[in-house]
A = this chain, B = another copy of it.
Amino acid sequence: MMESKQFFIHNIHDFVGQTVIVKGWVYNLRSSGSLIFLQLRDGTGFVQTTVIKSEVPKTVFDKAKKITLETSVIIRGIIRADKRSPSGFELTVKDLIIVSLSEDYPIGKKEHGPDFLLTHRHLWLRSRKQWAIQRIRNVIIYSIYSHLEKEGFIKIDAPILTPNACEGTTTLFPVPYLPAWKDPTKPPSMRVSLPDGEIKKEEPYAFLSQSGQLYIEAAIFSHGKVFDFGPTFRAEKSKTRRHLTEFWMMDAEMAFSEHKDNMKAQEKLIIAVVQQVLDKCAKELEIIGRDVKPLEKILKGGFPVITHKEAIEIVRKEGIAIGKRDDFGAESETILSNKFDKPLFIEKYPKEVKAFYMKEDPDDTSRVLNDDLIAPEGYGEIIGGSQREDSYERLLQRMKELNYSIADYEWYLDLRKYGSVPHSGYGIGLERLVAWICKLDHLRESIPFPRMMERFNP
């Protein structure tokens, strides 16, 4: 059987009329006495294969009859163009090998609840929709790398085990660090900030990174334009469809770059990513039923920019009770997002609702030179960015106002002491980006193995 050429389904159009071998899994099947239809998945795509009783030896037809859902097989057959088939092609089986019979595959055609599916995530990933989502996620990841490479960004991997909080202390994951296991005395390199009340203050803990930003800021002095792209952690005690405890973020940081440049860089990245997905994932977008028109609309750029102040007025007019200096909740973001058919920049938030490192707006020192980028179609924030405070004195003063432990941030303050420059950056949440581009109802399908408040397995 092995004398024929192996092919992969995504190249099927190059093999019409040829006898080929394909290796994969049967994800669906039906038979009508003299015909057995095996829907095959090989990783690169899906194709219908047909076993015709009158055209194969009895042993082959008998093997085909034994095949069950998710059985792994090697099939030899002829590829034919077939307009009735959704893929436009079909494979007529000549011979087959059962690699491993799959008995009682637990995910069937019936509806399963989310808890069942999440417990079987290792199998659920095989479904057509989950296959398509992960393929799109993959193209998004590659497109971010290729865009940043073209723009001259250097990858600087920020550490995960850190002594500092980047985004507030209530969502920190503490990790008892090594010397704590052997020796209760703390070496000088183990000074830590502890979240209130959650863990014992006597033991040395590291924290799982909430963002690599502070670290990559250090690297702009060496490399100019840098980024990180890795997992980040927030011990979110809420179970909404927008929350994961572990998610991937790309942070970019640019020396000699100001607020407006920063927004331009963000727009350019989003356009590059969406362009790549549209170019490479037509099949996947069709499988998940994604209308591509709203995505095509954003390719021309010109994302609208409104101030926080203007945005507050808009949501108030829609009847939302929100203070003039409040941050936006999910409901407000949805309202704002639905007013525009492109991603929306909201800039210049009140400093008290944003992180300590953002630069004051010189035109209104109660606000900062930041931006949140709100995805269209109600998907909320996908990017948060800002120009960073580059004055040592103002940064120190801000940290004191907020009762930060200055000793823990001395290294970060050093960046303003030794050759400080205007600089800006942003962080993009991969799962929120995937959820928007795929138009998913819940973040949990955007990541291969989601971690949430009450789940960290399989």
Contacts and interface: CB of A to CB of B under 8 A. Distances in A.
Interface of A: 8, 23-25, 41-44, 70-72, 99-100, 102-103, 105, 119-123, 125-126, 130-131, 134-135, 137-138, 141-142, 145, 149, 152, 154-164, 173-179, 181-182, 187, 189-191, 198-199, 206, 208, 215, 218-225, 230-231, 233, 235, 237, 245-246, 248, 255-256, 390, 411-412, 414-422, 447-449, 451, 453-458
A235 B175 CA distance: 11
Contacts of A218: 121-123, 125
Contact of A231 (B121, B190, B231, B245): B231
Nearest to A9: B224
Nearest to A145: B145
A457 B411 contact: yes
Contact of A161 (B163, B245, B422): B245
Contacts of A158: 448-449
Contacts of A231: 157, 160, 230-231
A44 B224 contact: yes
Contact of A222 (B125, B390, B411, B455): B125
Contacts of A449: 157-159, 215
Given A125-B218, A448-B215, A72 B419 contact: yes
A69 to B, nearest CB: 8
Q: Which of A125, A198, A222 has the most CB of B within 10 A?
A: A222
A241 B25 CA distance: 46
A100 B8 CA distance: 58
A418 B120 CA distance: 12
Given A43-B223, A215-B449, A449-B215, A176 B174 contact: yes
A100 B419 contact: yes
B419 A134 contact: no
A122 B256 CA distance: 18
Contacts of A155: 137-138, 141-142
Given A119-B189, A451-B161, A44 B152 contact: yes
A419 B206 CA distance: 42
A119 B191 CA distance: 12
A181 B157 CA distance: 30
